[in-house]
Amino acid sequence: MKWLINFFTSSIGRKLIMSLTGLFLILFLVIHLLGNLQLLVDDGGVTFNAYAYMMTHNPLIKVVAYGNYFFILLHAFMGFLLWSKNKAAKGSKYAVRSDAKVSWASKNMALLGTLILAFIFIHMGDFWFKMKFTDQLAMVSIEGMDVQVKDLYTQVATTFSNPLLVVAYLIGLATLSFHLWHGFQSAFQTLGLNHPKYTPIIGGLGKAYAILVPLGFAIIPLYYFFVMK
């Protein structure tokens, strides 16, 4: 087992944790987006509320969900560790630094990550916490289901009627976009998955992902604020 401990305390091991958790979260974002797009179904929330009920009650999904929380925290913790160790390794700073052509995002992953973490707390406080640990949400009946479910759909509509929260979400998603701009391809590089033919494709895919996924999420608050109000 010593080899495993050595690995996860080595620089590359730690980076690998960042990479694997990052890739998991990238996958999660797609699932999350696909689920959330049901909010755009104009049926008074029937589809979405049923989906929300399923997501909070299916035991398999619950396990995955807790795994997901753990990976978010691990990614954040490891990111912080890397940041602090790297800062120490660099020591003093240059009086002048003119960077060669490297992306801004790549140098500011820790800052972006911290903002995203803050955003996740706000986001989970708005929905997940209220849904799971409070009785603030109204109960509604859905045809074909024998229990009443929490009306998360209305909670979403209420939240996104607040212009401040809509702006906060948009900022959060923009931050996410920058984070993914570097993170997607970086995860593959860390895994050593590199090839003269395929790496440019992964790079292009990553950039498309970094734009399209946050954009997909951004449609929801915008839709509620401008169309549904």
Partner 1 sequence: MKLKLKVWRQQNNKDKGGFQTYDVVAEEHMSFLEMMDVLNESLIEKQETPVAFEHDCREGICGSCNMVINGRPHGPNSGTTTCQLHMRFFKDGDTIVVEPWRSRAFPVIKDLVVNRSSFDRIIQAGGYVSVNTGQAPDGNSIPIEKDIAGEAMDAATCIGCGACVAACPNGSAMLFTAAKVSHLALMPQGKVESSRRAKNMVATMDKEGFGMCSNIGACEADCPKEISIDNIARLNREYVGSVFGGA
Shortest distance in whole angstroms from residue 7 CB to partner 1: 5
Nearer to partner 1, 102 or 147 (CB): 102
What amino acid occupies position 81?
A: L
Rounded to whole angstroms, how far apart are CA atoms 112 and 176?
Answer: 7
Q: Work out the burial of residue 116: count CB atoms within 10 Å of its CB; fewer than 13 is exposed, 13-18 middle, 19 or more buried.
A: buried
Nearer to partner 1, 175 or 190 (CB): 190
Rounded to whole angstroms, how far apart are CA atoms 165 and 197?
Answer: 43
Shortest distance in whole angstroms from residue 29 CB to partner 1: 20
Nearer to partner 1, 60 or 88 (CB): 88
Neighbours of 183 (CB within 10 A): 25
CB within 8 A of 2, min separation 6: which ones?
none
Shortest distance in whole angstroms from residue 126 CB to partner 1: 31
Which residues here bind partner 1, judged by CB under 8 A?
3, 6-7, 10-16, 82, 85-86, 88-103, 106-107, 109, 182, 185-186, 189-194, 196, 199
Nearer to partner 1, 10 or 141 (CB): 10
Shortest distance in whole angstroms from residue 116 CB to partner 1: 16
Rounded to whole angstroms, how far apart are CA atoms 99 and 83?
Answer: 19
